[in-house]
Amino acid sequence: MRFFKIIAVIIVLLIGAYAASMYYFVDESKSFKVEKEVDYPLDKVYSQFSNLQHFTRWNNFFTSSKTITIDYYTPYEGQGSAISYNDPKSKDGGEMFIRYENPNKTLRYQLFEDEDENPTLIDVKFKSVSPQKTRITWFVHTPKLSVLSRAQNFWTEDKFTENIDKSMVNLKNVLGNKVEKDNQLASIKYDSLMIEKEEARMILGISVSTSNKKDALYKNIVMNYNKVYNFVTMDLGKKDDEFGYPILITDADNFKDKEVSYYFGIPLSKKFGVNDNNFSFRSVSPTRNYVMYYRGTYAGRVKAIQQLMQKAKADEMRYGDIYQTFIEQPVDGRDVNMKLSLSVYK
């Protein structure tokens, strides 16, 4: 009995010592600043923070969980917008609000975690460093904690900074795809032959062989586009601004063959494990391409491809695959809007 009393006294003393050290040496709340730069224009960066539907697509706090559910509340963007979230697996939940907005300059968030009545206050400031670079600064003020809970403040800043580091990687991938699409649309000159250098890409898709009779090939392409698009968006949960335009890769001159083999896929930012054996990744090395934008019937693309091949022969260049990038999704019965790229080399 005496032994248990001694143990009880020791526990009380330890708790007392812990509480005293927390009271005198650890602040009840924590304030800190985190600063990052991204190589994208201010307006494009800011919109990813002010629109909470965009925000939750790249912020690691939300993307790191596959079981989290999010409800969005009007107006969805800017001051007054809000979300609530719940993760049944980790049992985390809470609410987030945008309380103040100075467009392209400042946003103020309030984050209520679990059932805490006191929010974390986050001010985010944006500054254009150059036309293509934006500085983002977070000013974070955590809620007051009870004496026994203050140990959390030892790792709060590190945890927040780690989340931002991972989120910035996601944001750059999202903006990279979005800006690439915008730039491609803005630079289109139909039926003009151009020379471009293409960076390395990672594409997820399927390999196909099909008949080349009449409209059979295009109908097959439409079917496989839907198959790949649904897999990427529904099974993998990717949003449209997280990937590039769909690409068909095939031999440049196989339009003359009775049967055509091709690879159809969607560019993603990185390679990862895929459970469905029907889909596989293809790594495309950097290439030098002869390029032509084409709009019309799918069968009519042949003339544009022949022009690219003739140019390569005239320049005494050898050529490899033809890359057919669909600027607009392929739909049965409609004209196509595409970029034709013939890879060339000496």
Residue ranges and CATH numbers for the domains of the chain are 25-185 (3.30.530.20), 192-345 (3.20.80.10)
- Specify which of 28-42, 153-167, 332-346 reaches the highest per-range mean pLDDT: 332-346
Distance of CA 260 to CAs 160, 225, 252, Å? Answer: 52, 16, 11
Which amino acid is it at 124? V
- The H-assigned helical ranges of the chain are 2-25, 42-50, 52-58, 60-63, 156-186, 216-230, 301-314
Reply yes or no on whether the pLDDT at 3 is more than 70: no
Distance of CA 335 to CAs 41, 300, 331, Å? Answer: 34, 10, 8
Q: Could you check whether the bond before residue 75 is cis, i.e. omega within 30 degrees of 0? A: yes
- The H-assigned helical ranges of 87-198 are 156-186
Reply yes or no on whether the pLDDT at 121 is more than 60: yes
Write out the two tokens for 259: 């049967």
Whole-prediction pTM? 0.57
Which amino acid is it at 114? D
In the block, tokens 């560019």 appear at 267
pLDDT at site 72: 87
Nearest residue to 142 via CA among 154, 128, 130: 154
Reply yes or no on whether the pLDDT at 154 is more than 50: no
CB 161 within 8 Å of CB 168: no
337-340's contacts with Cβ under 8 Å and 24+ in sequence apart are 337/294, 337/295, 338/293, 338/294, 338/295, 338/301, 339/184, 339/245, 339/291, 339/292, 339/293, 339/294, 340/291, 340/292, 340/293, 340/294, 340/301, 340/304, 340/305, 340/308
Mean pLDDT confidence for 308-330:
92
Average pLDDT of every residue of the chain: 84
Report which secondary-structure segment, H or E, holds 98. strand 92-102
